[in-house]
Chain A
Amino acid sequence: MAGDRKHKGEILAVGGGKGGVGKSFILSSLGMSLARKGKVVMIDGDLGGANLHNFLGVSPPRTSLIDFFERKVPLSELIVDSGIENLSLISGMVGTTGGENIKYVQKKKLFSHILSLEADYILIDLGAGAHFNTIDTLLLADRKLIVVTPEILSIENMYNFLRNLFFRRLGSALGQHGYRELVISVWKDRRGLGIKNFQQLVAHLKNISPELRGLVDCELKGFKIHIVLNQAKGHRDIMIGNSVKSVCRKFFGIDAQYSGYVEYDESVSHSVNRRLPYMSAFATSRCARSINKLADNLVSGQQVRIVS
């Protein structure tokens, strides 16, 4: 588990199934908010659609992860200034191919470079979809943020993403005990085994042996995610975060936290279009304040309070 490792900065990564839900906006804004507390390095890990620089209002940096992969430049040399104090950026522009064909060794090397970056907070933006490179990067993070919007497609997508995320993690955790093939085959044959949902799948694994039961329970309990509800337009939307969290806890059995919500604000797209970093252009807006609150919650471990 990434959290056990002794690295310097705290790694936060943001994922989630769907494109356009606001992952990059939230991550870049969190970066600006956290930069008031410590040194922040942001990594644009959306290799196919790198756009973090847009949210910070800077032009595309000339160096990027492409130099890491193709010219073997150390990651720390790819850090560029963001124009904002305490905040720097590693760009992700890798051209059109995306990150799908990055080889295993390259990925491992990238991870070890990330772990040795000098910063208080290392923030990683990820692309949409559940490609295993995306999932592995999210699993590397100490805090795994999942962004949803109050829409059914986004929530469905998130559940799907979580299933993938958890099984990838379970696969590697059980793999260390010699069960790798077993997990993969159960996952693949789930239809034939009459497994209709996540709960049944987990139950199936647990019933194989007491040892497996112990391992699976331990992985589920130790699997923590932070739900962030974006584009909230009112109280009812905010409450959706609570129900999503509840479903994750009750049906997936994972340790889901509702760490914060971000209000909807038309000015977000205006500031992106004008290449202004939202958090400084609209520092006192309700949306910006909700992001600051989210940042505080992530640091302190608190959750959204239930108001009735």
Chain B
Amino acid sequence: MNREAHRHHFETLELDMKASPAEINKAYLLLKDIYLNESLLNDSLAITAMSEEISAEDKADILQGIEDSYRALSEMVSEERRAVSALVDSLVAGIDGFNGAALKEIRQRLEISLDDMAMETRIQREHLANIEADNFAELPVAVYTRGFVLNYAKFLSLDAEKVTGSYMDNFRQYHGDGAK
């Protein structure tokens, strides 16, 4: 999709270009609701107040535009997802043990910064850095570390169970098998 079309679709859905897929869905449902609603209820008050200037065709045109832009953006979102999962598959193909270095490599290849990851996963940046450095001594007890690694893996669309299993083997080995 070219940049101009891209911008147009976000504009139609009244979103900024950084909107997440979830925000795209919400905006679509909201706008559809606004321009479909024929009743005199609150939701359509803003339209009713302009009813002399807004014809049924105007509304139909707007709805069509919303529909088209939503389709285009949904298509874009699924394309991105496909591209990411193809990339992830190719990155994971050669790995059998998920240690910190492997995770870091995958994260960097996906062009995700630690800061972004910390913000999105709500895991402290420091913990994320320790995970990637296999810095087991500084990581919290096993249950917490396991949770962090799980979210880390999910965030990168990795097989979360597999990654956690493999990572926690190393963690336990370091702490001695008795560590919980």
Contact = CB atoms under 8 A, between A and B. Distances in A.
Interface of A: 150-152, 155-156, 159, 196-199, 236-237, 239-240, 242-247, 249-251, 306, 308
A243 B34 contact: yes
Contacts of A155: 45-46, 49
Interface string B50-68: 1011100010001000000
Given A155-B46, A243-B45, A308-B29, 7 more contacts: A152-B48, A196-B53, A197-B52, A236-B41, A239-B42, A240-B42, A243-B43
A246 B31 contact: yes
A149 to B, nearest CB: 10
Contacts of B52: 197
Contacts of A242: 30, 34
A237 B30 contact: no
Interface string B124-152: 00000000000000000000000000000
A243 B46 contact: yes
20 contacts: A150-B42, A150-B45, A152-B49, A155-B49, A159-B49, A197-B53, A198-B53, A240-B43, A242-B34, A243-B44, A243-B46, A244-B46, A247-B47, A247-B50, A249-B14, A251-B54, A306-B27, A306-B30, A308-B26, A308-B30
Contact of B14 (A150, A197, A199, A246): A246
Interface in B7-50: 14, 23, 26-27, 29-31, 34, 41-50
- Which of B30, B41, B52, B62 is packed against the most chain A CB atoms within 10 Å? B30
A246 B42 contact: no
Contacts of A196: 53
A236 B43 contact: yes
Q: 9 tightest A-B contacts by CB?
A: A243-B46, A197-B53, A155-B49, A244-B46, A156-B49, A243-B34, A236-B42, A306-B26, A247-B46
Contacts of B58: 251
B53 A240 contact: no
B116 to A, nearest CB: 19
Contacts of B54: 251
Nearest to A199: B53
A251 B29 contact: no
Contacts of A306: 23, 26-27, 30
A239 B27 contact: no
Contact of A245 (B14, B23, B26): B14
B26 A250 contact: no
B144 to A, nearest CB: 30
B26 A240 contact: no
Contacts of B44: 243
Contacts of B50: 156, 159, 247, 251
B34 A246 contact: yes
Contacts of B46: 155, 240, 243-244, 246-247
A304 B78 CA distance: 27
- Which of B14, B49, B53 is packed against the most chain A CB atoms within 10 Å? B49
A259 to B, nearest CB: 14
Nearest to A197: B53
Contact of A240 (B14, B29, B45): B45
A240 B52 CA distance: 19
- Which of A150, A240, A246 is packed against the most chain B CB atoms within 10 Å? A246
Nearest to B34: A243
A199 B55 CA distance: 12
A156 B45 CA distance: 10
- Which of B45, B50, B58 is packed against the most chain A CB atoms within 10 Å? B45
Nearest to A250: B62
Contact of A237 (B14, B42, B47): B42
